[in-house]
Amino acid sequence: MSPQETRLNDPQRPMAMQGIRVIDAATFIAAPFAGTLLGEFGAEVLKVELPGIGDPCRRLGTASDAGDSFSWLTEARNKKSLTLDLRKAEGAAIFKQLVAESDVVCENFQTGTLESWGLGWEDLKAINPRLVMLRVTGYGQTGPYSGRPCFGRIANAFSGLSYLAGEPDGPPMTPGSATLADYGAGLFGALGVLLALRARDITGEGQVVDVALYESMFRLLDELVPAYGAKKIIRRRMGAGTATVVPHSHYPTSDGRWVAIACTTDKIFARLTAAMERPELSAPGAFERMEDRLAHRKEVDDAVAAWTRQLPLAQVIAACDRAQVPCGPVYAIDEIFEDPHYRQRGNLLTVPDERVGELTMPNVVPRLCGTPGAVNSLGPKLGEHTDSILAAMLDMTPGQLAELKSARVI
């Protein structure tokens, strides 16, 4: 049963982040994704957007029938849209009032921007000492590059990740998606917020969570740093290969598909060679040990590829499954939609919406059996909740709201 199905069957079930209010004053993906993750588990997330314009993510990628992009509808799910011009004194004043009643602020403006509007950490901390402030920038709040603009592609490159993507004799490539660093920073940002909220339970005080886009990818590069620090090893591009393990790559099949096979131990390789009916490959004096295979990488990979080329994808997977060798298909998105495991796990969540009918998107991760997350709504219309938020939280009257709209503060 999917997390969404669990919530719908028991709407009174508690949620892990209920009672936490998050102000998402960020744009695009990185810091907003942290807010999305918190909102999926019950936090109230107020999305602050520029009046008449909104978050640029609304226009990022393919437009839906509602006008807003699929990225927006998916990544702004469960949020309430509040339009507010933070550059104006009246907007900044309202923002401070909202901060006084909130737990978390997420922002990813260029370093120093909020300070120039009187909304920096010291300003907000004075209003709400228990506030947790997530600040996501390309290079962090400190350091000689802290003022530089940055996007995910730049962060992927600066982190060392892009250098590793591509064929050995080719240029560095995009490592899957240019937005990997944005999503990675959002994940680390959400973790940082949770840690800061836990610390607040102990100390009673909030703090800043400082996440740099490049750091989210740099932290994930396994032994790259210590291998260079200790032995000056510079890992190069290896295509689908893996520096420390062989065979561990993508291999062609007879029906024009690709299969991923990973033999991370000598025992697994022995099981693979048995499945291949080539046990001599893992015999003593051949490629029994990992160091032997690393020294003869091409020969080992060629032998595996020669086997997979003789069989269709389904037969390769079946043979590997019988031998308990980790393998899997290299999927395109249409194949993911057809896969029974994705279907049974509920990984593809379809959410009804009056603007687009239904929209399928990735379901909530991780799964909690006691306090599961849920998706209750798609990314909202621009300013959809402005009046209700300001009336409920700040007791604003219809007349006051009309004046703010006239002045284009909201």
By annotation, the residues acting in catalysis are 182
Strand partners, 45: 22, 79
The pair phi, psi for residue 349, each rounded to 5°, is: -100, 125
Q: Does residue 171 come out as left (phi exceeding 0), alpha (psi in the -120 to 50 range) or beta? A: beta
Burial of 133 (0-12, 13-18, 19+ CB in 10 A): buried
Closest among 82, 78, 47 to 353, alpha carbons compared: 78
- What gap in Å lies between CA 71 and CA 312, rounded to an integer? 35
- What gap in Å lies between CA 25 and CA 34, rounded to an integer? 12
Report the relative pairing of strands 348-353 and 357-362 from DSSP bridges. antiparallel
Q: Print burial letters for 348-363: b (CB count within 10 Å at least 16), e (below 16).
A: ebebeeeebeebeeeb
Q: Does residue 324 come out as left (phi exceeding 0), alpha (psi in the -120 to 50 range) or beta? A: left
Which amino acid is it at 201? D
